[in-house]
Chains A and B, each alone.
Chain A
Amino acid sequence: DIQMTQSPSSLSASVGDRVTITCRASQSISSYLNWYQQKPGKAPKLLIYAASSLQSGVPSRFSGSGSGTDFTLTISSLQPEDFATYYCQQSYSKFFGGGTKVEIK
């Protein structure tokens, strides 16, 4: 099975900061990588699919990049509503990364 490793597992940031989260696959997954946001007590929400495609309705401050084994989710200017946990997921075996919790500094 293809394993997904996210880093960091948590980070503290301020409103307006640029935030970058990385996800590494144990083998190449081409561009079959998705990103989700989850807030406490809520279902995950799809942000980015196929590594870099923005899901409809998601603010443009979210962007994704990468291919092969290394991927990045970037929030260009962190907003108060962006404090949440973020997960990557590969579309082959559907496994998720361990998550990155974005907290207020």
Chain B
Amino acid sequence: QVQLVQSGAEVKKPGASVKVSCKASGYTFTSYGISWVRQAPGQGLEWMGWISAYNGNTNYAQKLQGRVTMTTDTSTSTAYMELRSLRSDDTAVYYCARECRSGAFDIWGQGTMVTVSS
């Protein structure tokens, strides 16, 4: 079946970097884009950015420009999100999601908890 499976929970110190993976299966990876969305504890959903799995084009939320990089590896149908210079307010569950033609996110990963703490 169509699914996105993310890497496991991470604990990082302030100033460090984290890289979360999102492995796709059950569909043609290069036919869809992948967006990343995060959710701080008890808070709403925040869109972080998007990457085309077809050509690698990216579009990042202005708030995260310069700290986030999204990449894909088409040989393994995997998307990656790296966030640098981590701060305590980056503590959140990070989701990857497949973006369909309508612009909606129809398939979601299970989420990866990233905790930033000294």
Contacts and interface: CB of A to CB of B under 8 A. Distances in A.
Nearest to A38: B45
Given A46-B104, A55-B104, 16 more contacts: A1-B62, A34-B103, A34-B104, A34-B105, A36-B105, A43-B95, A44-B95, A46-B105, A46-B106, A49-B103, A49-B104, A49-B106, A55-B106, A89-B105, A97-B44, A99-B44
Contacts of B105: 34, 36, 44, 46, 89
A93 B60 CA distance: 10
Interface of A: 1, 32, 34, 36, 38, 43-46, 49-50, 53, 55, 87, 89, 91-99
Contacts, number: 60
A94 B108 contact: no
Interface size class of B (residues with CB under 8 A): 20 to 34
Nearest to B46: A96
Contact of B47 (A32, A43, A50, A94): A94
B45 A87 contact: yes
Given A44-B45, A87-B44, A94 B106 contact: no
A31 to B, nearest CB: 9
Contacts of B45: 36, 38, 44, 87, 89, 96, 99
B102 A49 contact: yes
Contact of A98 (B44, B50, B95): B44
